[in-house]
Amino acid sequence: MASEKEIQKILNDGISYFGKDEVIYVYECKKCHKLDPVPSFVINEHLGFLKFIKAKKSYEMECPYCGSPSFPIKTSKDV
């Protein structure tokens, strides 16, 4: 489990890269526990694709580091 300091650093990095108007979701991998900042436009495209293929709505995404499932643990709205 990531520390609050690590999560805040990832959020700040995501906000500085994508802009303060973009909502950033911090995802944590269930296997390798690495953190990944994901902007809301990527989440919206993911959910739109799931709706298009008639799959169940899920915020689960694939970890970019190891390919295992990762889930949101915090957003920039929470700060």
Residue ranges of domains in the chain: 4-78
pLDDT score recorded for residue 31: 95
Provide CB contacts within 8 A for 11, sequence distance 6+: 24, 26, 37, 74, 76, 79
What are the tens digits of pLDDT across the range 47-79? 888 777 777 767 889 999 999 999 999 988 876
